[in-house]
Structure formats: C-alpha cells, structure tokens
Chain A
Amino acid sequence: MSRVLWLASLRHLSRHAWQVALATLGIALGVAVVVSIDLANDSARRAFALAGETVAGRATHQVVGGPSGLPDDLYRHLRLDLGVRPSAPVVEADLAAPDYPGRTFHLLGIDPFAEGDFRPYFTGNATAPAPIDSQGRGDMAPAPIDSQGRGDMAPAPIDSQGRGDMAPAPIDSQGRGDMAQGDLLALLTSPGAVLLSAETAAELGLKPGDTLTLRVGSQRRQAVLAGTLLPSDELSRRALADLAVADISTAQELLGQVGRLSRIDLLVPEGPAGEATLARVRAALPPEASVLPAAARTQILEQMTRAFDLNLSALSLLALLVGMFLIYNTMTFSVVQRRALIGTLRAVGVSRREVFALVLSEAALLGLVGTALGLPLGILLARGMVRLVSQTINDLYFTVAVRDLAIAPLTLGKGAFLGLGATLLAGLPPAWEATTAPPRAVLSRSHLEAGARRAAPRLALGGLVALALGLGLLLLPSQELLPSFAALLAIVIGCALLTPMAVVGLLALLRPALGRVWGVLGRLAARGVVAALSRTAVAIAALTVAVSVTVGVGVMVDSFRATVVSWLETALQADVYVSAPGLVSNRPDQTLDPALVARLSSAPGVAVANTYRRATVTSPEGPVELIALRLQTGPDGLPDLRGNLYRFKEGNPRTVWRAFTSEGAAIVSEPYAYRHHLTVGSRLRLQTDRGEREFPVAGVFYDYGSDQGVVMLSRSTYDQLWDDRGVSSLGIYAAAGVQVGDLVSSLRALAGDSDVLIRSNRALRAASLEVFDRTFAITGVLRLLATLVAFVGVLSALLALQLERARELGVLRASGLTPRQLWGLVSAQTGLMGLAAGLLSLPVGLALAAVLIFVINRRSFGWTLQMAVAPEVLGQALLLAVAAALLAGVYPAWKMARTSPAAALREE
C-alpha cells in the first residue's frame, strides 16, 4: 500500500487523538479485565498445584483412608511384611497460626528415614515431581527399582515405628543434605519440633528455639522451631513458604491423631511390575483405604473450581465484548467521518481492497496499542483480583494460600490474542462499510442516514435471528456451559442489532411529548438522534449492552441473595451455633474438642443440642462432602427440628426423616442430586471405614452452602460405618425462658480458653451473608469495569457525534440560539440517547438475568434460585445510563456552546 495513504491514515488518527485515546483505553481495559481474571485464576490454580506437589513430592500413588485417616500399622505392614518400597508415611493438616492472623500452615509430618526421594525440596534439589519410567527411575534417577518395586538396596530393617534404617535423612537444619546428628535428634525427639523455610521464619521473626502457636480445631498447640529449610531455587521457595515440616510422631501429637496417618506415599514404576505392586497393596488394604494416583487430588480439586473459573472468565469476556463495541464504534465513526474522503480516494484510483486494508490496519494499530497497555494494566489489576479469587476459593472450596501472582506467558499471550482478535473482528464491519463508499466526491449526509434508517429493519431481522439462535442453544438438553455462554452472547448481539429499530420507534413515541414541553428544540433533539442513526445507534447499543449486563448480573446476585436469605432463615433455626474457627474462611473445616462438646451440650439453659460433622469421604465418583447430623428426637421418634429445618425439593418430610433416622438412608442437597443425576429412590455409594456401602436416597433438600453438593447421613449411621468421632459444629436451642444473649454468654464462659466461635443465630446469619457478599465482590468489580468500558465508549461516541455537528450547531447559533440553549439542546440529545439505552437495557437485562439464573447457574451449580427483581436495580440502571450519557455530553456541549458561530460555520 502507498506510503502516502499510510501517512494520511496516521494523520487522521492523530487529528482525532481523543477519540483514538478513548478507544485504546476501552480495549486496554477490556484486555486488562480478561488478563487479570485469567492470571488470578491461574495463580490460585498454580499455588494449589504447587502445594499439592510439595506435599506429594515424587509419589506416584497414595494410599488414603476416610475422615479419620489410616492406622499406622498399615504402613508397617506394607513396608515390612510386603516390602512395598519406596513408601513413606505422611500426616498432614492445614492449621492456622493465631498469632499471625490470616496465616495458615500446611503441617507435613514425615518420617525422615523413609523420605528418600519423595520430596526433593528437602534435599536442596528442588524440582517438580518427575515422571517415573518403567524402571522406576525419575529424571533425578532415584535408586533403581526391581520388578518387585524394590530398590536395589537390600530391604532395610524397619523399627517398631515402621521406620527404615536407610541412610539418615537427607535433611539438615538448613534444608541441605547433610543433617547434623544433633539436629536430626532434635527434630525426632524434641516435643513439637518443626522446620520452616528460612524465609518464612525470618518473615515471622522466628529463630530456632522459638515457639510457634498453631490452632488445631478449637485447641492451641505449641510447636518449636527446630531449624530452617533453605530453598535452593524459586520454585522451592514458593513451595516451602507455607509448609511446617515435623517428624511424623510430632505431627500426630500436635494434631491429636496418635497412631493415625493421613496417607502413605508410594513410588511405583509404570508397567506390569508397578501394576503387580499396586495389586499387592490393594489386596492388603483395610476396607476404608484405597490407592489413588497422586495427581488425582489436584485434578479433582481443579474440577471443583471449574465452573467458578469459567463463570468468572465469561464475565470478564463481557468487558472485552463491551470493548469490542467501542472499537466498532470508533472505527465506524472514523469511516463515516471520512466517507467523502474515501470517495475521493476511490475516485483517484485507490481500490476497495486498499481501503479495506487501510481501515483494518488502523483498527489493528488501535488493538495493538490497547493490548500493549492492557497487558501491564491486567497484571496490576490481577494483584487485587488474586486476593478476591483466592478468598472465594477458600470460602467455598479448599484452603489455598496464594502469595505470588504467577505471570504465565501463555495467559499474556492469550490476552494479546484476544485483544487483537477482538479489535480486528470489531474493525471488520466498518472496514467493509468503507469499501462501499462510492468513488465520487460528494454523497449527501441525508442520503447516508436514510440508508442507515433503511437498514434498521434488516438489522432488526438479523437481531431476531440471533435471539432465536440463542433461545435454541438454551433449549439444548445439556449440562455443558459453553452453549449457554454462546446463547448469552447471541442474545446480547441480537439485542444490539435490534437497537436501531427500537431507537427509531422509541423516539417516535417521545417526540410529540418533547415537542410539547420544549417546542422546536425538543423536536430537534429527538430528530437529531434519529437523523444521525448511523452514529447514535452504535453508541446506544454499546451503552445498552453494558447497562443490561449490570442489570442482568445485579438481578442475578439479588435473586441469589434473596434465595440464600430465605434459605438461611429456614436452615438456621437453632438459637446458638458453636464451631471451631475456620482457617481463613467460614468453612467448618476444623473439629471441636469432644470434651467441650459434651460440656456445652449439657450446659444449663440448653434444651436441645444437635451436632454436625462435616467430612470429606471418597466415593466412586470422587470426594464427597458428607454431613453427619445428630438431631435429638421428639416423642414421635422423629427428629425434633423445632421448625422446618430443611426444605425438601423431593420427598415427603415425614417419610424422609423416618428413613434418615431409622433406615440409614441418605438425603442429598439439590446440587449433589443434579450433578449425580439422583432422585428419591436412587442409590449412592460411599467408601466407608467398613468398605464401600450403598445408601438409598430418601430426599433432596434445598441447600446453598456448597456448589459441589453434600450428602447427609444420620450420626448413628455415620458412627456405625466410620471411626471418626469428630464434631464440626453444634446447633443449640435455648430452653424455654432463657434469653439467647444470656445463653451465649454462659456458653462462652464454659468454653473458657478454647478457640471456639459461639454465635447467636443472627450473628451466624450475618457471617454467612458476609461470605456470600464476599463471594460476589469480584462480580461487582467486573460489573463496574464493564460499565467503565461502556462509559468510555459512550463518551467517545458522543464527543465524535457532537463535534462532527459543529457546522450544524454553528448554523443554529447563527440563527439566534443562545449558548445556554445550545447546551440544553446537546444535553437533551445525549440525555435522550441515555434514556433510550436505559429503557432498552431493562428488558435485555432481565432476559440476561433469567438466562444466568435459570440456565447458567443451574448448569454450573445445580441451584434453584427464585428470581427477585428489585425495582431499585432497574431504577439504578436507568439512572446510570442517563447519567453516563449526560456526563459524556458535558464536554461537547461546553465546547460547542463556547465556539463562535462564525468559526463553526467556517469549519469544513
């Protein structure tokens, strides 16, 4: 293409610097939002995977048990009797450090003598776990393993603790391979001895010999820093940051799990030899135990957050979609403004292809600059987002400490691709439009606008087709989310295409009223919007999309909240709730001291104390959240629910409770039933400490506490099948005449120094709603950002529109319009555009909300939500649209009112 053509194009852009800057800002914000969410999700995922790899090390398989773990005899049996090696026992738990609020440690209890090659972080040779070849060799070449899975060292004698007598552990107090015997002795024999990474110890101001308080359930335990681990590289540094390493017996004592193991790590070669070893292990396992590939845990937990990640990503893409409107808007303006110019170029022989390339190159340039700005902005934004994302993951799914933002080149590449792709896609229609400019000098504006008005019905027809397509996608009988998001996109695009027609219709309705109120100027303002439909429709569509997203997401969150409030009122019937503080969230992931449970349950003023145990058990479909519920029974033998504690979606309450308490039946939450296709009468299988058992499903209850769903069994059924006697929380009903406040105080006095949360019903409800609001904080941020992008778009469109009308406004000034009247006229027009966008966004937003509530939420999480439309959400949307448009009109109105009519008339 001609250099001079490029020059003309670049100078055009530089002469409309503000327009270009706003478009660039729009695309930069869009890219930033997408990149930040992606980085935040990715960082959380990586932190979790790294934590998993740190504790799993090079293990290929893990022997795991139920909620109470495994007996440590099993390890001795596997290692000594069956010669299963390399194998290593592990005791682990996430613990809070009350002296350092918000800080959690993953306590990893290991046997230094059996560690061998399992966790290379302790040898100063940190690497990611390496694949094991058929000889059992990883890329760090551990000792060769024979066909029995044995190493080539002679089987080592095992002491009574199941410890091997292999070479002393490759751990020293500095985390290096040559541990002094004295330090090893301290780790093995000093009560509460733990190792922390040197960096963490320094960060907390701890030195060897100092005490570190850890909270185990409702009790505090003292650990002693025996030494520090020196990570050899960045990966080990991050891996070790939240790890507290202890000897296995110390960890058992700290956790109150003497004689129990969390799991046994195995290093099994691939191929028939490994299969044979696994078969031997499986044959030796007690009923509650099973062997899982080491990667399974990470994979399962990643699956848990998949819908959450996807929903956030989809919402972040909305910001980019609004950004695309902005680019489309800018490029369309740029083409329309230069239509006569492009006509001249065509007349002197510039081909359509060259015009197309020129306009698309301009879009690409904007996309390139916008993306280049958006990527660092995204990284900045991600630093805030990662906190919100990891908090939500901690609240809803599992404990993960995300300390660093992982800036993955792939994520940045994806952001760049999306930014440029979106810009080019948005630039295609205007580039095509430019090629249709006839090669003649003058084509009247009225002719152009008449064309735009003629196109409105065709666009509306396209919009209806897009809507029909979206509806069709929604009706697909599938649990997949992608068709749902595609449907959402089709609906948004369909509504945008309907906008020009809707604007013409709406303003035809408004015009007489405006004429009556403001006379000719009122009619002029209304006509002005329709007269420049080729420009105004795009701006109105962009604002409509942004505001409707606000309405849609707002109504969805409100509906969700209203449903949760109503559910909490039903579910939280007890007067007082007692639980151990969560690690970093409200999830009841800790247990209460049994003595405390007994003391509080029989306290004066307590009429009924129901116990809850929430534990994760395994099932053929993966881990399952299980609630063991002990409800005191009334005179009829049915649970004394003191009200309708659970609302059942399926099943008659009397029949359900009878089956639950006396027949060992399970009741499942709605999301669980949805995910696993269960209904009343179905059967589900769980791995118990007595082996795999089948449970009939007696009912399906509404529950909004977990998107993975829960299975509930009576405590007596649980106690028969599992050895775990822990209690996660207590629901206490006050005796008649006892004030709840007084009861809370007396229970707190009884609890003494124990770390427990004793909260009234109201306080727990407030805490639950706080978690809910925290969960949706990120949604609010994304909504705000999408609106910001839209505002930039409207500002850009209105500036262009009004400044382009300089000559027309100059004529009006010359004809006697005062600056104030001119200001009024411009503001009336921009206000009308905002009003049109606001009014159109209401039905569109409600449609989006309905899709989010009834389709996407259902397919993502399986919840039934009641749609609640708060009039203030709609009022705010209308106000937002009008205010954004009016605000965007301030500068052009001011500029036009200040410009002398003579100057405006002189301008070309």
Chain B
Amino acid sequence: MLTDGDSRRPLVVLRGLGKSYREAERERSVLRDVNATIGRGELAVVLGRSGSGKSTLLNLISGIDLPTSGEVMVDGICLTGLSEQARTRFRRRHIGFVFQFYNLIPTLTVEENLLLPLELNGRRDKGRALALLAEVGLADRAASFPDRLSGGEQQRVAVARALVHDPLLVLADEPTGNLDAETGGQVLALLDRLSRAAGKTLVMVTHSVEAAGLADRVFSVQGGHLVERAPLLEDS
C-alpha cells in the first residue's frame, strides 16, 4: 500500500541492480550489482563521468526503464514487478522530474505546465500551482509560454512542476547542466530549499561539486558500480 509509510523505512531500495544494452554484437554493461538505500527526506547526489550510467540509474528508479537484473523498491513497492501501465501510474502519482533541458511543454503556459501533473492526478488546484510559482519567484510569468523565459526561469518552472503534485520522490537529471554557474547555484538552492521544506526525497544526478556540497548522501558510479562516498564537505 502506498502511503508515506513508516518514516524509518527507506524510501528507495536498490537490490542487485544491473542494466546492460546490446550494441551491435556486443553486450555493454552500464550498471552492475547496484545496491543502495535512500531514506525519506534525504537529498542524495549521484556523481560520475558522462556515460557512466547515472541517467540510466534515474530511469530505473523512476520505472521508466527496467533493469536487466535486480529490483527497485520505492516506498515498499517493487517497480520491477509492475506492468508498464502500473509503472506509469506510479510515476504520475509519486515521482517528480527535473531534466537538464527543462522539457517544459512548449504549447502550454507556465501555469498550465504546473497544472498538467495535478490534472493527471485528478486535481485541478490552480491555487497550488500559483502558490508554487510564487515560491520559485515566477508568479508574474504564469501566463507566459516557456519560450519567452530564460533558461534559469524555465528550470525554476521545472522545479515547481516536479513538486506541484506532492510526489514522494523528486529525481533531477543534471538540473544545472545547461545553466551558468550563478543561475545553476540559484536553481540548486531552490531545489534544495523546496524539497527539504516539503520533506521530499531528492535524488540528483550531477557533475556539480556545489550540488554535492548540499547532499546528505553522495554516490558515484564507477565502472558500473554505485559507490557511496562521504559527503563532499566532510572530505574536504
């Protein structure tokens, strides 16, 4: 049963997770025997080189993709055992996404972009959408279309969209990768503030050292394995 559940129980459990792709005649293994748990309200950062498998890991956690081996548990639900339709419904209800390239719907206004996850969940809470927009400092841009916004503004809308339907888990895939350092910093701070304020679990894939600095837990993908490291600030 999906509830906020026992606060002591980890929200995300990865067990023996493996993912490989077929490339021509060769099998390329991206993730191997990944084991990890992420607790509720934690901010976990996954570091790694380009192509190391970080984004694949997010796709597996969100149920977008299925592992070759192992299992993914979110809030006690084994996503790997669900049908495609059930995983879509799970994602719709419990996951919020922030992408590197924002991926706002260009034909919807800023406000409508926020209404979309709400409506998909059967809610038409315009007040909630506008309140969150105010929190990200874009209340005055509610009626604008995404292409009229700067990159930083678009990513702030994306952050609001990820949180608007009150998901259990927010997944962010290099959310600052397309932004300058200053704007990236602002977006990171916003993501950190809002997700912590709402008590959400945030898993963020990034290259940003600054992001790692905010994290409760830091992982890196090395040779297909997920290795937990001490939080960056403690290292330094």
Contact = CB atoms under 8 A, between A and B. Distances in A.
Contacts of B105: 8, 341, 344-345
Interface stretch (A346-354, A478-486, A526-534, A886-894): A346-354
Interface string B59-79: 100101100000000000000
B97 A347 contact: yes
Contact of A438 (B64, B116, B117): B64
B64 to A, nearest CB: 5
Interface residues of A, number: 28
B180 interface: no
Given A2-B116, A2-B119, A348 B107 contact: no
Nearest to B84: A352
Interface string A327-370: 00000000000001100111111111100000000000000000
A306 interface: no
Contact of B107 (A2, A3, A7, A351): A7
Given A8-B107, A348-B117, A908 B88 contact: no
A345 B99 CA distance: 12
B93 interface: yes
Contact of B91 (A5, A7, A348): A348
A-side binding surface: helix, strand, loop or mixed?
Answer: helix
B108 A347 contact: no
B88 A341 contact: no
A439 B147 CA distance: 22
Interface in B85-99: 85, 88-89, 91-93, 95, 97, 99
B42 interface: no
A341 B99 CA distance: 12
Interface string B106-123: 111000100111011100
A7 B112 contact: yes
A441 B107 contact: no
A387 interface: no
A4 B97 contact: no
Interface string A130-152: 00000000000000000000000
Contact of B106 (A4, A5, A353, A908): A908
**Residue with the highest number of chain A CB atoms closer than 10 Å, among B101, B115, B117, B120:** B120
A4 B115 contact: yes
Given A348-B97, A352-B84, A11 B108 contact: yes
Contact of A349 (B93, B112, B147): B93
A8 to B, nearest CB: 5
Contact of A344 (B62, B99, B112, B147): B99
B3 to A, nearest CB: 19
Interface in A62-120: none
B186 interface: no
B133 to A, nearest CB: 15
**Residue with the highest number of chain B CB atoms closer than 10 Å, among A11, A347, A908:** A347
Interface string A616-634: 0000000000000000000
B64 A349 contact: no
A647 B107 CA distance: 71
Given A347-B91, A349-B92, A442-B101, A12 B107 contact: yes
A346 B88 contact: yes
A103 to B, nearest CB: 60
Interface in A1-49: 2-5, 7-9, 11-12, 15
Contacts of B92: 348-351
**Residue with the highest number of chain B CB atoms closer than 10 Å, among A341, A344, A438, A908:** A344
Nearest to B55: A440
Contacts of B65: 438, 440
A7 B109 CA distance: 10
Contact of A4 (B89, B116, B173): B116
A522 to B, nearest CB: 30
Nearest to A353: B85
Contacts of B88: 346, 349-352, 439
A3 B122 CA distance: 11
Contacts of A908: 106, 147
Interface string B156-168: 0000010000000
Contacts of B89: 349, 351
A15 B99 contact: no
Nearest to A906: B147
Given A347-B91, A347-B97, A908-B106, A4 B59 contact: no
Contact of A441 (B91, B115, B120, B173): B173
Interface in A235-263: none
**Residue with the highest number of chain A CB atoms closer than 10 Å, among B105, B108, B119, B161:** B105
Given A351-B89, A438-B64, A15 B107 contact: yes
Nearest to A350: B120
A700 B203 CA distance: 88
A365 to B, nearest CB: 15
B103 interface: yes
A806 to B, nearest CB: 14
Contact of B64 (A3, A351, A440): A440
Interface in B144-195: 147, 161, 173
Nearest to B99: A441
Nearest to A346: B88
A3 B120 contact: no
Contacts of A348: 91-92, 97, 116-117, 120, 161
Given A341-B106, A441-B99, A347 B62 contact: yes
Contacts of A7: 107-108, 112
Contacts of B147: 908
Contacts of A3: 119, 124
25 contacts: A5-B116, A8-B112, A9-B107, A15-B107, A340-B103, A341-B103, A345-B105, A346-B88, A347-B62, A348-B91, A348-B97, A348-B120, A349-B89, A349-B91, A350-B88, A350-B120, A351-B89, A438-B64, A439-B91, A440-B59, A441-B99, A441-B100, A441-B103, A908-B106, A908-B147
Smallest CB-CB A-B distances: 10 pairs: A349-B92, A11-B107, A2-B119, A344-B103, A441-B99, A8-B107, A4-B116, A439-B64, A351-B88, A349-B91
